[in-house]
Amino acid sequence: MHITQLNRECLLCLFSFLDKDSRRSLSRTCSQLRDVFEDPTLWPLLHFHSLAELKKDNFRLSPALRSLSICWHSSRVQVCSIEDWLKSALQRSICSQHESLVNDFLLQVCNRCPNLTSVTLSGCGHVTDDCLARLLLSCPRLRTLRLENCARVTNRTLAAMIPDQPPRARVCAASAFSAAPGRQSMPHPTGSY
């Protein structure tokens, strides 16, 4: 039996065991497998381990997405966590290569994934309060927002979530703080709201 002779349900099950790159590679073999790759039900969870993965065409954003995780653990994260006014020219140059990448990606998520229930951002030093505020407005089912090493996030985002409907969301903020002059920083680097 050839793989294309399997029904769609079986193909979806097979695809669900593959990583993003393998799914993409298999989808390029024929239109039937491409349709399976495009099926929104295949994409309820997305995990990214580097910012470069956000630019790949090996996943689909859709209303079926429930959980999103962007966890970037790199030496560059330390550079991104430095406030702009303290960065050297070299550090600013490093950051300029990816500065808007996560914000732009999250704006796509806002437009395509209204049913998100959980978002984890770790090492996303350039994510802004405005971007997170839009995410909160666009995803009314969001219940958990985890932030770690998101240096540009201030109390404004955290305060926006607290007065909302009490069961609305749980925010976990670890080392998500801003120390720029004139910007209010979180009172403690680790907290749960």
pLDDT of 1-41, one tens digit each? 888 899 999 999 999 999 999 999 999 999 999 999 999 99
Q: What percent of the chain has pLDDT over 70?
A: 70
**For residues 107 and 113, what is the distance between their CA atoms, to the nearest angstrom?**
10
In this structure, the answer to whether residues 150 and 169 fall within a common structural domain is yes
Tell me, what's the pLDDT at 188?
A: 37
Range with the lowest mean pLDDT among 54-58, 145-149, 175-179?
175-179
In this structure, the answer to whether residues 16 and 64 fall within a common structural domain is no
In this structure, the answer to whether residues 23 and 93 fall within a common structural domain is no
Range with the lowest mean pLDDT among 54-58, 74-78, 177-181?
177-181
H/E stretch holding 45: strand 45-48
In this structure, the answer to whether residues 36 and 47 fall within a common structural domain is no
Mean pLDDT of 87-95: 68
Number of neighbouring beta carbons within 10 Å of residue 72: 23
Structure tokens at 184: 């209010």
In this structure, the answer to whether residues 34 and 48 fall within a common structural domain is no
Report the mean per-residue pLDDT for the chain: 80
In this structure, the answer to whether residues 86 and 128 fall within a common structural domain is yes
In this structure, the answer to whether residues 97 and 178 fall within a common structural domain is yes
134, with CB counted inside 10 A (0-12, 13-18, 19+), is middle
H/E stretch holding 84: none
Mean pLDDT of 77-98: 64
Domain tally, the chain = 2
In this structure, the answer to whether residues 21 and 89 fall within a common structural domain is no
Over residues 115-160, the pLDDT tens digits come to 999 999 988 878 888 999 999 999 999 999 998 888 788 887 777 6
Residue-range definition of the domain harbouring residue 86: 43-192
In this structure, the answer to whether residues 132 and 69 fall within a common structural domain is yes
**For residues 176 and 190, what is the distance between their CA atoms, to the nearest angstrom?**
8
| Cα–Cα distances in angstroms (integers) from residue 150 to residues 8, 25, 36, 56, 178, in the given order | 41, 33, 35, 23, 8
In this structure, the answer to whether residues 144 and 49 fall within a common structural domain is yes
pLDDT band at 189 (very low <50, low <70, confident <90, very high): very low
In this structure, the answer to whether residues 140 and 78 fall within a common structural domain is yes
